Amino acid sequence: MDPDSATAVRVAAAEQEALISGSEAVAVATRLADVDVLTAYPIRPYDTLMQYVAKQIANGEQDAEYIVAESEHSQFEIAKHAEAVGARAMCGSSGVGWCYAFEAIAVTPALRLPLVAMVGNRALDDPGAFGTEHNDALAARDLGWMHVWVDTAQEALDTTLMAYRVAEDRRVFLPCAISTDGAFLTHSQTLVKIPPQTWVDEFLPPYNRGDLRLHPDNPITIAPQVNEDWLMEIRRQTDEAMRNARGVIEEAYRDFRRIFGRGEGNPFFEEYRTEDAEVVLVGMGTLSMPVKVVIRKLREQGEKVGFVRVRWFRPFDHERLGALLSRFRAIGVIDRDFSMGSPFNSGVLANEIRATLYAQDRRPPVVSFIAGLGGREVTIPAVKEMIEQTRRAAAAGKAPADTQWIGVRA
Amino acid sequence: MDAKLQVPTLDSPLPVLEPIKGVKKAPLEEYFTSGHRTCQGCESALVMKLMVKAAGPRTVVLGSTGCMYVANTTYYSTSWVVPWMHTQLGSSGSAAVGTAAGYRALMRKGKIKREPINVISFCGDGGGADMGLSAISGALQHMDYNHLILLYDNESYANTDIQASGSTPYGANTTFSPHGKAKRILHKRWKKNMAAMLAAGHPECRYVGTVCASYAVDFMNRIRKALSIGGPTFIHSLDPCPKGWDYDPMLSHELGELAVLAGIWPLFEVEQHQLRLYGKTRAIVEGRQKRLPVRDYLMKQGRFAHFTNDDIDYFQAKIDEMWTRWLIPGVLPFSTDVLNERPPA
Ligand SMILES: Cc1ncc(C[n+]2csc(CCOP(=O)(O)OP(=O)(O)O)c2C)c(N)n1
Ligand code: SF4
Ligand SMILES: [Mg+2]
């Protein structure tokens, strides 16, 4: 038995299981992480996180400043300033609420504040829609936030702990957004292993802001007026931090595996039945469920299909992802988002994958799909259709030039 | 009304800040010093200096975007001796809450030393009375956090080139409300009654006051009171701005005095629900000081140079109304019998 699996046995013995939703899993993680300041503002589905936090506070299970703000903008600003004095903070939002906070979201990375936020992914309504769509979180993709998409409640809990560990690493000091698909994950209950406090404490050191802490004992001036004299150097430093995050994420997952005994494989993306696959689908979040179901079925019939679920979208693991994807004969990318007027009228992920593949010697055709917008279910027939189209591209050695909208009325 | 109303939780340690008894007793130490690039005669720079002088070294200052950010914190030449952090234009309220909440949690959990730390968050009139009003209102409801929000009111969005705000006086010439050939007056809004609005609207808040740095000792003592009383507090300062108001920079101090003496800027405080007029405002109300005509104040400033006699009369009538018709003169404008004044065409 190797040391890793020995730990796993210890873990399985000591963890408790609970039937909880994705939002509740994040709430439990904030308690385990001893978060100091949490801010709330209602919008579905994000509000479920803070409803659970509120219960934990009311029942004396969690010791934190829990602040109901008067807007998302204030939610993020309060959390941002709490982070500046060395307090660990958590907030988040969904859809237009995330947009309402955008100013605060935009400035947090350059301040090098390791705020962790949950995005309960939701359509940007108007027109009114509660369902999941990734454009809210993706709107902030270029700003210096780390972005991770999770798939299950267990992953939501584990990733929240991981997010603090990575964000608060002095080599990184960047905020991190955890995307959870509205309803499919935020509201769906599954059995989740809740680790004991001792393991969390071993994994997650206290937040130490060091000489960047705002306190009378450390009289610094934060965010002065730099203009063209210095801004470019500061942007470059933030970029450096994001580059560092790749290695720090690897370290964190390795350590997580050692202590918790789970979290196998590459932290950046999950591979499902890719070993000998000829075509694969690529996507993020909970659409993995119907995709995996179809792939399992097709595999039973001897078809060589697989799935790659992108977990960390920022930083993006272009090297390993590019190397992996170049092996296949064709790739179908499913975007639960849109980027109107973009190259090939694709969603965001498809063009990231195209850019990633460009550096490879072998560049298989990429079919881009848009599906599941506004929380529309990505059905089994829809997945089959996408695999079929991807297979046709493999046979032709060429993908259709334009993006395919799946499951949409004509 | 009982002056000692109970506040639910005031468990963060509070500083002891004795009143300063006369200008010669003011601390000599400066915590806002050289390195700033404000205009000559900028009253707001003086406000910053007096504010931290009164608060002392165990203070953290948050500043929202505006002249007092842009002109005071050039990279490598900050004028702040105490720790300082920028906050977004509409975020002075949230910055105060986040900072105070962070310290409170860390002290309660024993992660940092338990001690009083003054948290002051300042904003301009654009940042505070317009964009950040909602966040300030939210901040004044969270009684767990000790902090002071100071609004320095230069009566325009000054840093972006003097644009009209909700705090710009009626009729003033700004780059968004120029005096033109067809329209003598573009800015027709009456200045927001910010301090009284916040005092009336936040019944738990223990201190709201107005100040004018022309009366420096009074000013510093109000800062001290606000910082040591507990919970969230708010102070509104009227700051003459030579660039925006268009006058000789040597007159800043006099213009502040004139605003008070003409009854345009009432000095008052609401301390644990007790309203008190103070300084020259009180002298006017008690008949010890004559209220001066608004003309004496308006005509010293280029921003009102286009005013006709009718405009001045209208302005005067509105100010007279404050003192003769308002339910609480100079503070609260409710009245069962309001003058139906209309601005001159
Ligand atoms: C969200 C946002 N909108 C607009 C601006 C542009 N801006 C920078 S300073 C400023 C003026 C703020 O006016 P005020 O709060 O009165 O402060 P002052 O400049 O007068 O000192 C504005 C509008 C900004 N920084 N942020
Ligand atoms: S424009 Fe007014 S407030 Fe701004 S620095 Fe100049 S005098 Fe001060
Ligand atoms: Mg202003």
Does position B10 have pLDDT exceeding 80, yes or no? no
Domain assignment present for B257: yes
Distances (CA, A) of A375 to A48, A81, A134, B227: 17, 34, 10, 49
Domain assignment present for B42: yes
β-partners of residue A307 are A272, A281
* Contact assessment for residue A27 and residue A46, using Cβ atoms and an 8 Å cutoff: no
Range of the domain at B84: 23-340
Question: Which SS3 state, helix, strand or coil, does residue A327 take?
Answer: coil
**Which chain B residue's Cα is nearest to A229?**
B75
Strands of the A312-314 sheet, one edge to the other: A65-68, A37-40, A89-93, A116-121, A176-181, A146-149, A312-314
pLDDT band per the 50, 70, 90 thresholds, residue B1? very low
* Contact assessment for residue B238 and residue B156, using Cβ atoms and an 8 Å cutoff: no
Domain assignment present for B72: yes
Contact state of A224 with B91 under an 8 Å Cβ cutoff: no
Distance B263 CA to ligand 2 centre (A): 24
pLDDT band per the 50, 70, 90 thresholds, residue B340? low
Question: Which SS3 state, helix, strand or coil, does residue B332 take?
Answer: strand
The CATH number of the domain holding residue B147 is: 3.40.50.970
- How high is the pLDDT of residue B334? 85
Q: Where in chain A is the domain with CATH 3.40.50.970?
A: 3-260
Predicted model pTM: 0.96
Q: Where in chain A is the domain with CATH 3.40.50.920?
A: 269-405
Give the whole-angstrom CA distance, residue B240 versus residue B272: 29
Residue A43's Cβ-side half-sphere holds a number of Cα atoms within 13 Å equal to: 34
Measured between CA atoms, how close is B33 to chain A, in angstroms? 13
Contact state of A84 with B111 under an 8 Å Cβ cutoff: no
The ipTM estimated for the assembled molecules is: 0.95
Domain assignment present for B39: yes
Instruction: Name the token pair of A348.
Output: 């965001």
Does position B326 have pLDDT exceeding 50, yes or no? yes
- Rounded to a whole number, what is the distance in angstroms from the first to the last CA of chain B? 45
* Contact assessment for residue B112 and residue B71, using Cβ atoms and an 8 Å cutoff: no
- How high is the pLDDT of residue B236? 98
Domain assignment present for B12: no
Ligand 1 atom nearest to B130, measured from its CA: 15
Distances (CA, A) of A272 to A50, A288, A304: 33, 9, 11
Count of domains observed in chain B: 1
Residues in chain A where the model's pLDDT stays below 70: 1-13
Q: What are the chain A neighbours of B134 within 8 Å (beta carbons)?
A: 70-71, 74
* Contact assessment for residue A39 and residue A79, using Cβ atoms and an 8 Å cutoff: yes
* Contact assessment for residue B102 and residue A79, using Cβ atoms and an 8 Å cutoff: no
* Contact assessment for residue B141 and residue B202, using Cβ atoms and an 8 Å cutoff: yes
Between A343 and B344, where is the model more confident? A343
A61-110 pLDDT, tens digit per residue, is: 999 999 999 999 999 999 999 999 999 999 999 999 999 999 999 999 99
Fold of the CATH domain A3-260: Rossmann fold (3.40.50)
**Which chain A residue's Cα is nearest to B118?**
A216
Question: Which SS3 state, helix, strand or coil, does residue A298 take?
Answer: helix
Domain assignment present for B13: no
B61-86 pLDDT, tens digit per residue, is: 999 999 999 999 999 899 999 999 99
On whether any CB of chain B is under 8 Å from the CB of A225, the answer is yes
* B158 touches ligand 1 (CB under 6 Å): yes
B263-283 pLDDT, tens digit per residue, is: 999 999 999 999 999 999 999
- Nearest ligand to residue B155 Cα: 3
CATH of A269-405, one of 3.40.50.2000, 3.30.200.20, 3.40.50.920, 3.40.50.300: 3.40.50.920
Residue from B42, B43, B65, B156 to probe ligand 1 pocket by mutation (most atoms less than 8 Å from CB): B65
Domain assignment present for B14: no
- How high is the pLDDT of residue B9? 55
Nearest to A184 by CA among A93, A51, A48, A285: A285
Give the whole-angstrom CA distance, residue B267 versus residue B224: 16
Question: Which SS3 state, helix, strand or coil, does residue A410 take?
Answer: coil
The conformation of residue B221, written as its DSSP 8-state character, comes to: H
- How high is the pLDDT of residue B141? 97
* Contact assessment for residue B103 and residue B112, using Cβ atoms and an 8 Å cutoff: yes
Domain assignment present for B4: no
β-partners of residue B118 are B59
Q: What are the chain A neighbours of B37 within 8 Å (beta carbons)?
A: none
B130-181 pLDDT, tens digit per residue, is: 999 999 999 999 999 999 999 999 999 999 999 999 999 999 999 999 999 9
Contact state of B98 with A82 under an 8 Å Cβ cutoff: yes
